Each structure stands twice: as structure tokens, then as C-alpha cells.
Amino acid sequence: ETVKIMDVNFLNCSKKEFLHDYLVPDLKNNRQKMIVTANPEIVMRVREDNNYKQIVNKADYVIPDGAGIIIASRILKQPLKERVPGYELMIDMLEFAGELGYSCYFLGAKKDVNEKAVLEAKKRFPNLKVAGQHHGFFDIEDEEFARKIAEAEPDMIFVALGLPRQEQWINRHREKFSNGIFMGIGGSFDVLAG
């Protein structure tokens, strides 16, 4: 089920399998989960930074993002099924959220990028429920700020704060939330904003 590459345990499933076999049941059962879409940059960071390694190893799902990860898995003779780019996974999750009525919180990126990304998401998925949004330039140790986001009870929380801050924020604050699928998404709001 998982393939270990340099201390990171990757979930071995296609994007479609991940969405249908893991994500949808988690949403239906109000489970709280943390997704890391790990590219070679994240794997290297795990090697160098023990604190980051512990956080990534606590994530519920580590998804292979990047051709380098797939190539490494083949060399190890435990081939991962496919590359799942974080941006594509986020878009598919937004689509699910729109169709199934789950709410999303958009946390991170510059203020204008964050606003544009939310507008674009609403344009693409008109039924999308936005639980809230905030730019990514704040103190990640701010407990009160995280509590306010938790009060919105979002079903999905997309966190674009860059490495390692996004994973640190999720790890530090997730227990304040009653449920929710947390995902660090790096520069994906910038891509969505265009």
C-alpha cells in the first residue's frame, strides 16, 4: 500500500483511486486527515530537517508529486502507480467539494493572489462553498488566528505557505478543528490565480 523512498512513505494509488477510495469516505465520515503532496524538494527537506521529517511522517497521506519520485520508486523495484501533481489534486478536490456540498477554506499566498484564486475557483465550480479565506503572511504560531479558522468548520483546508511553514501550520493547529482534510499546496493558488 505504501512505498518508502528516503524515509518518506508514499501512498501507492492513482489520483482517481485516492479521490474515490480515500478522500470521499473520509469526507463522508467527517474524518480529519492531512495530505502532503511530496515532490523531490520535500523528500530532500525531510533528509535534512528532523522536525520536518516528523511532521511529514505524521501525515495521513503522502502522495507522489513529481517525476523524480516515480523514477526513484522504479529503481527501488517498488513502482508507484502514477504521479499525482498537487495542483491537479487540489482542482479535483474543489470539483468534488462543489458537487457534494463540502466547504473549503483558502489559506495562504499574497493577498491579491489569494483573492484571485478564490474568485477563479468559484468561477470554475459555481456551487463551491467558501468557508473563508486569508492571505499567507501571518504568524504561524498564532493560536487565536487558527481558532477563528476552525470556527468556520471547513471540510477542506488548502494551505499555501511554502515549505516547511504550511506543514508546520497544519501540524500545529489541526487538533483545533472538528474535522477537515488539510493539504499543503505550495504555489497552487498562484497557478489558479493565473
Give the interface with ligand UDP as residue ranges (CB under 6 A).
Answer: 108-110, 113, 136-137, 160-163, 165, 186-187, 189-190
Q: Hey, is 162 helix, strand or coil?
A: coil
**Cα R_g (the chain), whole angstroms:** 16
Query: Which ranges constitute the DSSP H helices of 86-129?
Result: 86-100, 111-124
| CB-closest chain residue to ligand UDP | 136
* Smallest separation, CB 132 to ligand UDP (Å): 15
Between 35 and 113, CB nearer to ligand UDP? 113
Query: At closest approach, how far in Å is the CB of 108 from ligand UDP?
Result: 4
| Least distance in angstroms from the C-beta of 6 to ligand UDP | 18
Are the CB atoms for 35 and 28 separated by under 8 Å?
Answer: no
103-108 and 156-160 beta bridge pairing: parallel
Q: Indicate the residue among 130 and 191 with the shorter CB distance to ligand UDP.
A: 191
Work out how close the CB of 162 gets to ligand UDP at its nearest, in angstroms, rounded to a whole number.
3
Q: Specify the residue, 31 or 110, whose C-beta has the smaller distance to ligand UDP.
A: 110
- Number of Cα atoms under 13 Å in the Cβ half of residue 103: 12
Q: Which three cell numbers stand for residue 68?
A: 523524480
Q: Which is nearer to ligand UDP, 69 or 109 (CB)?
A: 109
Is the Cβ of residue 22 or residue 52 nearer to ligand UDP in the bound state? 52
In angstroms, rounded to a whole number, what is the distance separating the alpha carbons of residues 50 and 190? 29
Residue 82 grid cell: 502514477
The nearest distance, CB 53 to ligand UDP, in angstroms, is 16
